[in-house]
Amino acid sequence: MSKTRIEWIDLVRAIAILTVLYIHSVDGIYIISSNAIVNLTMISRIFQYASLFIGRIGVPFFLMITGYLLLDRTYNDEKVMKFWTKNCKKLIIVTIFWAVVYAFSITFIASNTTTISPVSAGNLYFSHMWYMPMIIGMYLSLPFVSAALEKFNEKTILQATTVFSLLAFMLPFISLLCDMHGIQNVTIQYCLGFSGGIYGVYIILGYLNKKEMFKGISSKLLGLVAIISWIICIYFQYYSFVKGYNFFLWYEFPFILTGSFALFELVSRIEKVRCFKVVTILSKYSFAVFLIHNLFRIPLLPVVIKSPFPEPVEALILWILLIICSYVAAAIIYRIPRIGKYVLYM
């Protein structure tokens, strides 16, 4: 199998899903703790802030993989229709199916537990479903983006991506800084047209990685960028907390972009992945696990939250349980004759 697969891509995909499960575990524990008005220690808060950066690299990794694998292709009318049928049509059906499953799950949980309110249950259950319409929209546009990229030199594409990144990431960051320091209603108007916004930038970066546009950057510098980005994200969250400003770390934050890209580029330089058989399994079921893991998060939360451990330990326990349950369930569902692989979009 290692001869027919790109090993480091499987590694990135495995890391991406594990970080998604990790941040959902951390979020679950801290949301319940906040509802219970628990006074978090400084160590616990720093753990939460550090974890948010780790968890936020998952989606950029998935998007950069998409750009790496799907943008460097030639599409015609026939291939576009096949691509849409294979990816978009089936993905829409899968999205609707799992939305219905989660809707019934919320009703069941809300009527059988007092630990988690219906509103919290809904937020936790659907916390990952925003990704589905976003990636469907990206898939619809990918053939046209790919055709456009064929017409231009990689350096031109890099220059355009740099400008788009400054518009999509730095201008909102400037507005955020102004708002935090009492300068209200500073809105900088800009329009990225058909670029795909911040998610489109991540996809294009994956494409540029395949074109080896960043090979001149040393691995040491990339590692330094990743570490500095992580520290800035932690500090910015803590600074916002001290100032009493409601800040939510999301994918438009510029240091999520720099940190996730630096790590993606670093992993892409790995020639031989250790324990590749394990990595392959983690990668194979990654999207299936993404779809189903929240079915286990809610039932596990009340159990884990009653443990005598502090929040960081509870989050790690929940993460491990979530990995085990989600992968076992995905493997079982996948083996259901005729429907398993379609329900999991495998």
CA atoms within 13 A on the CB side of 177: 10
Query: Rounded to the nearest 5°, which phi and psi values hold at 183?
Result: -95, 95
Whole-prediction pTM: 0.92
Q: What is the distance, to the nearest Å, from the Cα of residue 324 to the centroid of all Cα atoms in its chain?
A: 20
SS3 state of residue 337: coil
- Residue 35, C-beta contacts closer than 8 angstroms, at least 6 positions apart: 117, 120
For residue 24, give the DSSP letter: H
Q: What is the pLDDT of residues 282-294, one digit of tens each?
A: 999 999 999 999 8
Torsion sign over Cα 82, 84, 85, 90: positive
Q: Is 31 within 8 Å of 328 (Cβ atoms)?
A: no
Q: What is the pLDDT of residues 115-147, one digit of tens each?
A: 555 555 556 656 678 899 999 999 999 999 999
- Confidence tier at 1 by pLDDT (50, 70, 90): very low
Q: What is the pLDDT of residues 205-250, one digit of tens each?
A: 999 999 999 999 999 999 999 999 999 999 999 999 999 998 999 9
